């Protein structure tokens, strides 16, 4: 199993550009989520999904969209990038919402 | 609001020492907690998960305990090695009624074990 994979590893955007961060898991997990990690702060939940077709907002959802068309994939879209979205983004998955969560390697995003 | 505090923020010890990393939380309505390890520039690796009904979990040289009444968890690392150098994060899953699956993270303890 590859576990949780994320692409790209690094990305530089200009303010106003859009992009999609990819996340995939091959463990048949129902629960998937996106976190951002900023210096001096704990990881914060952006969006989550409890299964294909079901998504909901986390703690810091503004500026981000998600969809879940398959069990395996959970992409995160930045519609109009802002410097405040400079961060490291982690995708995680688990069998259910109360089970051990497995994290991907992260995407380091810089918005100029 | 759930607050998670990890003390110390950084720790530097010689190889072979036994270590205790501390984590405290403000709301006892937790479902479980996880300890993670994060290496520089890498993702998080789950080390241990303790259910709220459990007192401790062990994996190799690692032992994690949970005391809900006092709002504390500790991660004990026995016979530390340079390969243990990393940032250790604790995270709690809120009880029912919280955002599903949302983990509340501490800021981590950065551990350096020198030879």
Give the CA angle between residues A35, A92, A52 to the nearest 5°: 105
Please report the DSSP string for B26-71 in residue order. S---EEEEEEEEE-TTS-EEEEEEEETT-SEEEETTEEEEEETTTT
Q: Above pLDDT 70, what percent of chain A?
A: 100
Instruction: Provide the terminal-to-terminal Cα distance of chain A, rounded to the nearest Å.
Output: 36
Taking CB atoms and an 8 Å cutoff, what residues of chain B touch A21? none
pLDDT of residue A98: 87
Looking at the complex, does the CB of residue B101 fall below 8 Å from at least one CB of chain A? yes
Looking at the complex, does the CB of residue B11 fall below 8 Å from at least one CB of chain A? no
The rounded distance, in Å, linking the Cα atoms of A32 and B44 is: 15
pLDDT of residue B96: 67
Split at pLDDT 50, 70, 90, the class of B94 is: confident
- Quick one: which of A91, A57, A53 has its CA closest to A69? A53
pLDDT of residue B99: 75
pLDDT of residue B97: 66
pLDDT of residue B2: 75
pLDDT of residue A92: 97
pLDDT of residue A26: 96
Q: CA of B5: which chain A residue's CA is closest?
A: A42
The rounded distance, in Å, linking the Cα atoms of B16 and B86 is: 16
B58 vs chain A: nearest CA distance in angstroms? 15
In this predicted model, what pLDDT tens digit does every residue of A38-81 receive, in sequence order? 988 889 999 999 999 999 999 999 999 999 999 999 999 999 99
Split at pLDDT 50, 70, 90, the class of A22 is: very high
B101 vs chain A: nearest CA distance in angstroms? 4
Looking at the predicted structure, is the pLDDT value of residue A30 above 80?
yes
Check CB contact under 8 Å for A100 and B46: yes
């Amino acid at each position: 199993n590859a576990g949780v994979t994320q692409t790209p590893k690094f990305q530089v955007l200009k303010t106003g550009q859009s992009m999609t961060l990819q996340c995939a898991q091959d463990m048949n997990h129902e629960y998937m989520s996106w976190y951002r990690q900023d210096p001096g702060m704990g990881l914060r939940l952006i969006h989550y999904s409890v299964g294909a077709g079901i998504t909901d907002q986390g703690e810091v959802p503004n500026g981000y969209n998600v969809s879940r068309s398959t069990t395996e994939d959970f992409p995160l879209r930045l519609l109009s990038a802002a410097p405040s979205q400079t961060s490291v983004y982690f995708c995680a998955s688990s069998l259910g919402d109360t089970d051990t969560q497995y994290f991907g390697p992260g995407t380091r995003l810089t918005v100029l | 609001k759930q607050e998670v505090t990890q003390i110390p923020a950084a720790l530097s010890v010689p190889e072979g020492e036994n270590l205790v990393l501390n984590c405290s939380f403000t709301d006892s309505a937790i479902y479980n907690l996880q300890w993670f390890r994060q290496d520089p520039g890498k993702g998080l690796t789950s080390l241990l998960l303790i259910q709220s009904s459990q007192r401790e979990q062990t994996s190799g040289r690692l032992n994690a305990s949970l005391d809900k009444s006092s709002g504390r968890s500790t991660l004990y690392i026995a016979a530390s090695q340079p390969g243990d150098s990393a940032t250790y994060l604790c995270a709690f899953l809120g009880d029912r009624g919280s955002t599903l699956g949302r983990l509340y993270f501490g800021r981590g303890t950065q551990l350096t074990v020198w030879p």
